[in-house]
Structure 1
Amino acid sequence: MPSTLISPAAALRALYWGAALLLLAALIGPAVPQPQDFHAFADQRAWGPLPHALDVLSNLGFAWAAVTGARLLLDRRSQALAPALRWLAALFFTGLACSAIGSSVYHWAPHDATLAGDRLGMSMAFAGMLGLALQSRIADRVAVRAAVSMLVAAVASVLVWLHGGNLLPWALVQGGGMLAVLGLACVAPRHGALALRLGVVIAWYGAAKLLEWGDAAVFEATAGLVSGHSLKHVVAAAAALPVITALRAAGTARMASTGTMCADACGHGGATNR
């Protein structure tokens, strides 16, 4: 699919209209309860004192991505990146760290209270990803505002579900955010912004959702070796790889550009002094 199917202006208008429609649907749509068997995952095996072992341990992928991202942002090459980009990346990787903890706690003891913590961590990661997508295609200021709005909406949707039992707002926030990223994948990358391969991000996320929906089917197909939900954690964590790759390349390029400008300035100064 070509990356120039949608202009930045058209994408921004679609984003605003989409957000308005999703808000309206969340406010007037029918209440959707969480399925009664939501916490009944296919793989119930324990390893010693560790319950639901693979569903817990598979969250190490999120932890690895979070640590890798944090080290990348602390590297001197990343210090030259735009402040908005660094903030959005920090939000994304913080969300991954919170997801690693929240999801591990949830799968250790699956119930609504621990699931709320898991979803709050996911909210930060979703907001960071949407912001990074907008930074790479539209503008820094729009990206930051959208990330903050997404974070507020996601947290509100978790609270609505936790206290009222209505899962619809959470489903709309999650699905709407990923549709926005999918649409932005059709916009040409912005010059000088993060060169983020959004199509790859969406592909990883889509594969993760399929594995989540096929939790029991995958467990049966692998003769009880691994469940779809455990694999979902690993594949979802892989969606951070395009972000890590793009940030590393951007930091290196910015450092090289800064070094070239400094060398030119020093050379010009030396010539003037002569």
Structure 2
Amino acid sequence: MAATAGVSMAAARKRGYLLALAGVVLAVLAFALPPVAQPQAYHGFADARGWLGVPNFGDVMSNLAFLLVGVLGLSAMREPRVQAMGRIPLHAYALTFAGLALTAFGSAYYHWAPSDARLVWDRLPMTLVFMPLLAATLAERLRWRSDLPLLGLSLLGVGCVVYWNVTGNLLPYFVAEGGSILLLLLAVALLPTPWSGRAQLFAVLGTYLVAFACEQGDKQVFQATGGTVSGHTIKHLVAALAFYVLLRMLRRQQPIDG
């Protein structure tokens, strides 16, 4: 279920505090556990073929899918059914799609010539996707009245990338990304929502997990397809599909009576 039926606002806020406590625990673990360095083998993608003067063509150009869905998502923020959510969730979803559009440029820049220095510009806009999405999920359920939590979560995500760039410790970024997904799942399961269709968030996350699996199997997919397409290229396309599912959810949502 996308929400727990019969949960009062007071009970929902108590559960919100528990989610906040879980977030604090994750933050402590991010800095208490041993540091994790960026593996240099990560930059060795399977499909290094260039075309039309574009190096690593598949991994670079597949980012157009992010740009397309990001622009469509931003355009949808003007639709009455989406605007009916209210100012704070609307801002959070808008930042999610803006971050997705920016990811297209950051990821293309990185894949043009993969390196740690360029990877920073890939991950920075990605934090403006998953952290605002968490904020949007919480904002509509906890009736946030200020953009400050959205701002705080977004800056936290950006800060984790900056921290990695300065210290070389990637663990806080991993915790921010994975923790935001975990907290989003808990929020969807535990907190009631005033909007229909929110169970589709499980489909969004499930699709994203498929994209993650394609990324991990980059070389295996490339070999299995006879060198036609790599797992990382497919990852971009499937991840963009995940956010198109999110967009469809917002466009079709209806207020839940009571």
Whether 1:137 and 2:156 are equivalent positions in the alignment is no
Q: Mark the CA change 1:245 to 1:229 in structure 2 (over 3 Å): closer, same or farther.
A: same
C-alpha displacement at 1:136, in angstroms? Answer: 4.1
Matching of residue 13 in structure 1 with residue 17 in structure 2: yes
User: Residues 211 and 232 of structure 1 are in contact (CA less than 8 Å); yes or no, is this contact kept in structure 2?
Assistant: yes
Give the secondary-structure state (helix, strand or coil) at the position aligned to 1:74.
Answer: coil
Equivalent-residue separation in structure 2 for 1:194 and 1:96 (angstroms): 24
RMSD of equivalent CA atoms: 2.4
Instruction: Pick closer, same or farther for the CA change 1:2–1:195 going to 2, 3 Å.
Output: closer
Determine which structure has more spread, i.e. the larger CA radius of gyration: 1
2:93 aligned with 1:82, yes or no?
no
8 Å Cα contact 2:12/2:192 also seen in 1: no
Structure 1 window deviating more from structure 2 (193-202 vs 25-34): it is 193-202
User: Aligned-pair distance for 1:3?
Assistant: 4.7
**Cα distance in 1, alignment partners of residues 104 and 115 from structure 2:** 17
**Is 2:137 the partner of 1:121?**
no
Partner Cα separation in structure 2 for residue 184 and residue 98 of structure 1: 26
Q: Are the aligned partners of 1:136 and 1:189 in contact in 2 as well (CA < 8 Å)?
A: no
Q: What is the Cα deviation at residue 80 of structure 1?
A: 4.4
Q: Which moved more, 1:2-11 or 1:97-106?
A: 2-11
- Cα distance change on mapping 1:241 and 1:67 into 2, 3 Å: same
Residue 210 (structure 1) aligned with residue 208 (structure 2): no
- 1:204–1:235 contact (8 Å) kept in structure 2: yes
Q: Deviations over 1:48-89 (max 9, x none)?
A: 311000101111111111111122123455454411122112
Q: 1:13, 1:79 → 2: CA distance?
A: 27
Tell me whether 1:99 sits opposite 2:99 in the alignment.
Answer: no
- From 229, 235, 254, the equivalent of 1:226 is 229
Q: TM-score, normalised by structure 1?
A: 0.83
Q: 2:192 aligned with 1:152, yes or no?
A: no
Provide, for residues 148-179 of structure 1, a one-character-per-residue CA deviation record: whole Å limited to 9, x for no partner.
23212111111111111111110110110011
In structure 2, the residue matched to 1:176 is 179
Q: TM-score, normalised by structure 2?
A: 0.88
Runs of 5+ consecutive residues of structure 2 not aligned to the other structure: none
- Quote the residue 1:246 is aligned against: 249
Q: In structure 2, what is the equivalent of residue 265 of structure 1?
A: none
- Partners of 1:11 and 1:183 within 8 A in 2: no
1:4 match: 4
TM-aligned CA deviation for residue 180 of structure 1: 0.9
1:63 to 55, 67, 74: 67
